[in-house]
Chains A and B, each alone.
Chain A
């Protein structure tokens, strides 16, 4: 018996998946969720093997929700949005069902999943996320988990990012939040005109910079409005000048 969860904000969209699931008695539907928050809770509670996930949902998108789960289950996306259809993703996600889809197409996805299950799944979803976060639509904000609460940080509230071992510290006026991601990930996904990698371990929001001072030999330091100081390497200084149009 495998556990399944459906996450979609449209009730009828959930009901069609539910209907198609009846043909697969080996899959047990644990819960239906109307948004990403509910989805997160349900995933923690039930530890499903497979989720059906919509992308555009209230508050946090399907991609953002997945990012907050450490060991994401296998995912079959159900969405009307072809632009994320992301041919590149198809290699990673179990499947990508474009609404409306029929029982036959649905069954195919389930078969695909059953076949993939024998190999590694967690890895595949992880790969999917790495690719997913490159899609430009997420660059406006960062979603983090703060204890049991989920925090959505609009990009313009971010002061700077700092590498911290396996995590990235996201500094905001309210303090910092940790996210289990790489600096490269943020460098790629945030708006390149607003966020500059000034240093191997730092990405700064250029709108927060009030001053750039020389510091030791070839290096500089950026002073932010909050008073924080962010190191700027020689190549980082070049990038910064380019973005600021100096």
Chain B
């Protein structure tokens, strides 16, 4: 609901000035027709105050209810109705207040049609202006909402792109390739191939796509091969998956961020060699995949392990299954385990 035009000081002043002009004008006209100043002033004040109230009523109503298309007839009827009501009320009030003046009743009676026309015209004007005002307001708000939504969508898109491209991984890999070109060009070539396959996989797959565990593991192997070139013999991985569950399905690209998190956590929290273990199995209706990495309980709180990568996995799982319990982490002694459950039977 938009604010009324009277919420703006400038309009409020204009509105009041118009009213004063009308009061003065009507007073002078009545005096010209032979009414004493006092009676003319009271007549004008009563009539115009009631008109003012009617106008305010129309403006406020339009704030909540704006006519669409051919409903303008309704507005016309409301204006007409209000003008008639105004006329009857004014006539009665003026009769009570000023009936004792000589010839007033006749004057009132003669001027009724003029009074009515002016009131109706005025009310129509106010109504039209209000409608224009509220329409414009609404349009502006709609536009703002639209740009806001567009901005949000764009941000989400960018965020997704950034996530997919994983700039740190990419730049570090390029740096490794750069080093290999000089000393071991064959390996450099191989790594370029792996990196390309990996990136293609990232770009090709949609977030909503489901793939078999086998496909996802193949993709993961590409990633691990690259990481192993980067970190040399510091990084060791053990993957243990029963043949029988390799055809189970899971959302694409869900394992790589979990693995990446484990590698970062494991490699940056220990010096020397690190073993990352992946174990997958079936537990009732769920496919579960557990990834373990070592960490040093002395220096890092397990909370640090829930990095940005895991948060985005959690978000995706929530969007897909509307559940927040599918990703869990556990720190036991010096092993940190991340477990993801994927409900089957979809």
A interface residues, Cβ below 8 angstroms from B: 9-13, 15-16, 19, 34-35, 37-38, 56-59, 80-82, 98-102, 140-141, 152, 154, 156
Contacts and interface: CB of A to CB of B under 8 A. Distances in A.
A154 B183 contact: no
Contact of B299 (A10, A34, A59, A81): A59
B172 A57 contact: no
Contact of A15 (B168, B183, B300): B183
A109 to B, nearest CB: 15
Contact of B300 (A11, A37, A102, A154): A154
Interface string B144-168: 0000000000000000000000011
Interface stretch (B106-114, B267-275, B320-328): B267-275
B271 A37 contact: yes
Contacts of A141: 299
19 contacts: A10-B232, A11-B231, A11-B232, A12-B180, A13-B172, A15-B179, A34-B234, A58-B269, A58-B270, A59-B270, A59-B271, A59-B299, A80-B167, A99-B172, A100-B175, A141-B299, A152-B298, A152-B299, A156-B301
A57 B268 contact: yes
Given A59-B299, A80-B172, A81-B168, A13 B271 contact: no
Interface residues of B, number: 29
A35 B175 contact: no
A83 to B, nearest CB: 10
B229 interface: yes
A56 B175 contact: no
B231 A10 contact: yes
A206 B172 CA distance: 39
Given A12-B179, A59-B268, A98-B171, 6 more contacts: A13-B172, A13-B176, A16-B175, A58-B271, A59-B271, A99-B171
Given A11-B232, A99-B171, A56 B176 contact: no
A69 B124 CA distance: 83
A63 B232 CA distance: 24
Nearest to B230: A10
B178 interface: yes
B103 interface: no
Given A13-B175, A80-B171, A58 B298 contact: no
B77 interface: no
Nearest 3 A/B pairs, CB to CB:
A80-B171, A16-B179, A99-B175
Given A9-B267, A56-B268, A80-B171, A100 B299 contact: no
Secondary structure at chain B's binding surface: helix, strand, loop or mixed? helix
Contacts of B171: 80, 98-100
Nearest to B180: A12
B304 interface: yes
Contacts of A156: 301
B172 A10 contact: yes
A35 B271 contact: yes
A131 to B, nearest CB: 22
A19 B179 contact: yes
Interface in B174-213: 174-180, 182-183
In the complex, which of the residues B168, B229, B299 has the most CB atoms of chain A within 10 Å of its own CB atom? B299
A208 to B, nearest CB: 16
Contact of B304 (A16, A34, A37, A140): A140
Given A99-B171, A99-B174, A13 B270 contact: no
Nearest to A13: B175
Contact of A58 (B172, B182, B268, B301): B268
B307 to A, nearest CB: 12
B271 A12 contact: no
Contacts of A57: 268
B182 A19 contact: yes
A245 B7 CA distance: 36
Contacts of B267: 9, 58
Nearest to A99: B175
Nearest to A56: B268
Contacts of A35: 271
Nearest to A150: B299
Interface in B2-27: none
Given A12-B175, A37-B271, A58-B271, A19 B183 contact: yes
Contacts of B172: 10, 13, 80, 99
Contacts of A154: 299-301
A12 B231 CA distance: 8
Interface in B207-258: 229-232, 234
Contacts of B180: 12
B188 to A, nearest CB: 10
Interface string B304-335: 10000000000000000000000000000000
B178 A34 contact: no
Interface in B85-144: none
